[in-house]
Structure 1
Amino acid sequence: MGNIKSRDDRYDSEFRVLRAVGERPDFTQREIARSAGISLGAINYCLKGLIAKGHVKVENFQKSGNKKNYIYVLTPEGLAIRAAMAANFLRRRVAEYESLKAEIEALEQEEAIFHHSRPASERLQSDN
């Protein structure tokens, strides 16, 4: 199961990076990291992978004087992949939500049963 989690984490990271790049191509890697909630080192690694896959391209531009900066642009393939990943990401998040919701409801039921099955004297002591 560790490999599946790792694969899901990688998938989520790629989606978050594609999303950040799509929203703000002028973001630096540090800003992408902050926006995506991923470490700067992981962003560098992820961007290299997305560039190698042809989902993102890098363009140089002059920001001021001789200082060069990069913008990260989604390719047409990157746009299509991001849309597909968004649907998958949403589907998985809804499933996680439903699972957590069911677990919370079960815990609430257990708590209600436990609370009502204790003698009144114990309930009064713990409620204070």
Structure 2
Amino acid sequence: MQNEELILQVLRYIEVVQNQKTLAEKLQISLGKTNYVLKALIEKGFIKAENFFANKNKNQYRYLLTEKGIKEKIALTEKFIEKKKQEYDELVSELEILKGKNR
């Protein structure tokens, strides 16, 4: 997974996934890499970590998107969609060439 795609996926799932282990499984990356990415996103100001008030495990955090994180998520989503549109157009062109050769 490309770096920007990984960041986008983390920003997409961060508020619905309950913990780092589940996020790592969802993204199919190691728990260590998940922790590393989350720390980097916190440092960039894209997410913030808060302790659960009702949680007895004070080492467990809830991650929230910041305003800066929402803007980054929008920008990365738009970029991702544009990339996928280009890939689609290229595949359509290749398919047309193949169909032409098959006649």
TM norm structure 2: 0.81
CA-based RMSD = 2.1
Hey, what does 2:84 align to over in structure 1?
Answer: 93
**1:91 and 1:46 mapped to 2: Cα distance?**
24
2:21 paired with 1:21: no
Alpha-carbon distance change, 105 to 61 in structure 1, aligned in 2, over 3 angstroms: same
Runs of 4 or more above 4 Å deviation: none
Hey, what does 1:50 align to over in structure 2?
Answer: 41
Q: Following TM superposition, by how much is the alpha carbon of 1:77 offset from its aligned partner in structure 2, in angstroms?
A: 0.7
Q: Secondary structure at the match of 1:67?
A: coil
Q: Name the structure, 1 or 2, with higher relative contact order (CA <8 Å, separation 6+).
A: 2
Q: Following TM superposition, by how much is the alpha carbon of 1:62 offset from its aligned partner in structure 2, in angstroms?
A: 4.7
**1:30 and 1:103 mapped to 2: Cα distance?**
40
Instruction: State percent identity of aligned pairs.
Output: 32
**Unmatched 5+ stretches in structure 1:** 1-7, 114-128
What code does the residue aligned with 1:18 have? Answer: L
**1:42 and 1:102 mapped to 2: Cα distance?**
37
TM norm structure 1: 0.67
Q: How does 1:2-21 map to 2 (within 5 A)?
A: 9-21=2-14
**Unmatched 5+ stretches in structure 2:** none
Give the helix-richer structure, 1 or 2: 1
